[in-house]
Structure 1
């Protein structure tokens, strides 16, 4: 700890007494090189100014010392489903009132530090509808103490009128940039230069744009695929056909092999996609999903078909706590459906194999059928 904040200690001088084998020596003396986070510039400080990290962290509030026993089973069962999911399910989140193992926060939402305490692993997203410079995004990652950060690319969906959009975004209008494809590559190159300076390449997730093989080849030519261990498929949201999205995931996995981690950016919630992920757990390593918070915020709740149904959430104080409970349930539902825990009957029920203009043959038509189902 340094000045009340947890820091990373990279280098420190061993005390002479340690080298000499004294029984109870001070372990270090002199100076130490520290960083508040992997995304910030190292600093040299006196060893005497560092304090040990407390064994237990007081989070404050009524349950600062313990979690009540009546919540224990609920937490354990929720974690069991998270453990069963071979693919990490990152939920886009700005609401700290619900806990989940994996969360994703856009760089322009980094003013919500409490979200960091509501998850174990955090990704800072570089945004798709506004552009943040490498420093914009990395400063957000440092502020939130993120585990991973998306490199800044140019998606073509940016709206310059959006708050926090950086006007220095690479553009096809710039000299030397002839296309949207080249603008995306230039945006990443700016980020990679900064990541090398900070020595944080292991924290970087490299976004890949369509056409994916062409982009991967361009990234390979620049040596980026040798520098990072994590890539992300961008642009899936703009592909309406779920079969084409599934095909894209397989194409990228085949190109990079098993040694590269793959994140799917908003791959969709169609049951066909979820079944594919359940049946092919090595296809990707992680994905993100905005439905857990967006649906309750719109007074909607999805069922196992991921059709969202109207559900009026009450008005009044602390309604964010009410929404948070639905968010947690939706995240668990998604994780369950891509895990081995979800059986084939679920997908048989929700995937339509008949034409839309034909009646569903699995519809319950009578009280007797309902009673015996």
Structure 2
């Protein structure tokens, strides 16, 4: 008999997916329907859109006006007696506290629901994927185009490639400013982010021109403050990076995420690590620091494990871009590319978790052995 038809074990603790579905039922979010009725590998993913977070906030008389999605997460935590988490999405403990506070009884969903969720396009079963992601020292954000053939929680795309279908297929979506296209400006980036309901937008910088970048970012922040877009804003820095960050701070611009730009084409990790340390020394440990197009090589991963506060997030498109060129052309070639990219992503993310071990100390494990 297929495990999908078996009744769930009632003595098992509810998982995050169970609690999300239960909250979805309470607030009438279409989470259960998304899992059961989905005909694609990605649209079954369960996550909270800003509109969902606003509705939960409204249940606690929290006014969402002027608050980002991250601010709303922490405002809700405060109402249910949970500590702030720098605006991170709800953890399992947060979800459990929310379920109890709403007078609900936590429950384990039938296997049909949760096992379909576990198979909903993630490169590995959903619970294992989130175990890795929650343990990672940095958020790994995927760029590139895989035709939405796999689920990855965090995506970044430039303005000229950003689409609603990609936004709907992930839990965190970032619109980049397409800085190499001079016809696309901060207005385009903010408009696109607002139209798609993006979680964050990267403002436009000027390639390897620090002074022009500072001017562009100062103007971009001023434009953001009067724009309808109300998500997070990421400020890309150009070299000299420390001075660029310092000048923005001199303008009173500090309550934003910073990013290191201009190093996407570097073939070695040392310039990226040096830039991250230089900026971190200026902005402090509490500010969010992102590596734009940093990639995730073993040496970079080692540096992150050795200094988990160095970066908060990074993005790259390497898993999709560097596919096996022997894959024959034709229909559904991207399906093979997506499968290869999935494997690469899982391998790379594990390198920035405590689970990774140096090759010299790692003991041999049999195929599919316990780890």
Match of 2:359, SS state, is helix
Does structure 1 conserve the Cα–Cα contact (< 8 Å) formed by 2:191 and 2:229? no
Does structure 2 conserve the Cα–Cα contact (< 8 Å) formed by 1:292 and 1:327? yes
Match of 2:119, SS state, is helix
Match of 1:108, SS state, is coil
Rate the CA distance shift 1:33–1:335 in 2: closer, same or farther, 3 A. closer
Q: Please list the CA deviations of residues 300-340 of structure 1 after superposition, one character each: whole Å capped at 9, or x if unmatched.
A: 3xxxxxxxxxx522333222222222222211111111111
Counterparts of 2:346 and 2:53, CA distance in 1: 37
Q: Which residue of 2 aligns with 1:325?
A: 339
Moved more, 266-275 or 99-108: 266-275
Rate the CA distance shift 1:66–1:270 in 2: closer, same or farther, 3 A. closer
Q: Which residue of 2 aligns with 1:79?
A: 130
Q: CA deviation at 1:239?
A: 4.0
Q: Which residue of 2 aligns with 1:288?
A: 315
Counterparts of 2:306 and 2:200, CA distance in 1: 27
Residues 1:242 and 2:278 are matched in the alignment: no
Q: CA deviation at 1:252?
A: 1.4
Q: Any gaps of 5 or more consecutive residues in structure 1?
A: 15-26, 39-63, 157-179, 301-310, 349-373
Match of 2:280 among 236, 250, 253: 253
Q: Which residue of 1 aligns with 2:200?
A: 148
Identify the structure with the greater strand proportion.
1
Q: Please list the CA deviations of residues 147-180 of structure 1 after superposition, one character each: whole Å capped at 9, or x if unmatched.
A: 0111111115xxxxxxxxxxxxxxxxxxxxxxx3
Does structure 2 conserve the Cα–Cα contact (< 8 Å) formed by 1:108 and 1:140? no
Q: Please list the CA deviations of residues 13-32 of structure 1 after superposition, one character each: whole Å capped at 9, or x if unmatched.
A: x9xxxxxxxxxxxx9xxxx9
Does structure 2 conserve the Cα–Cα contact (< 8 Å) formed by 1:208 and 1:233? yes
Counterparts of 2:125 and 2:64, CA distance in 1: 42
Residues 1:89 and 2:118 are matched in the alignment: no
Residues 1:191 and 2:220 are matched in the alignment: yes
Does structure 2 conserve the Cα–Cα contact (< 8 Å) formed by 1:126 and 1:149? yes
Q: CA deviation at 1:219?
A: 0.6
Q: Which residue of 1 aligns with 2:330?
A: 316
Rate the CA distance shift 1:346–1:98 in 2: closer, same or farther, 3 A. farther
Counterparts of 1:238 and 1:288, CA distance in 2: 13
Q: Please list the CA deviations of residues 207-258 of structure 1 after superposition, one character each: whole Å capped at 9, or x if unmatched.
A: 1111012111211111112x32x10011122444422321221121122111
Counterparts of 2:155 and 2:64, CA distance in 1: 30
Match of 1:137 among 189, 201, 209: 189
Match of 1:109, SS state, is coil
Rate the CA distance shift 1:249–1:7 in 2: closer, same or farther, 3 A. closer
Q: Which residue of 2 aligns with 1:308?
A: none
Larger Rg: 1
Q: Which residue of 2 aligns with 1:44?
A: none
Does structure 1 conserve the Cα–Cα contact (< 8 Å) formed by 2:199 and 2:231? no
Counterparts of 2:345 and 2:166, CA distance in 1: 16
Does structure 2 conserve the Cα–Cα contact (< 8 Å) formed by 1:125 and 1:150? yes
Rate the CA distance shift 1:69–1:271 in 2: closer, same or farther, 3 A. closer
Does structure 1 conserve the Cα–Cα contact (< 8 Å) formed by 2:246 and 2:282? no
Match of 1:220 among 237, 244, 249: 249
Match of 1:122, SS state, is strand
Q: Any gaps of 5 or more consecutive residues in structure 2?
A: 1-26, 28-48, 70-111, 363-371
Match of 2:170 among 98, 113, 119: 119
TM-score w.r.t. length of structure 2: 0.62
Q: CA deviation at 1:78?
A: 2.0
Q: CA deviation at 1:33?
A: 10
Match of 2:204, SS state, is coil
Q: Which residue of 2 aligns with 1:54?
A: none
Match of 1:99 among 125, 128, 151: 151
Q: CA deviation at 1:282?
A: 1.2
Counterparts of 2:117 and 2:198, CA distance in 1: 31
TM-score w.r.t. length of structure 1: 0.62
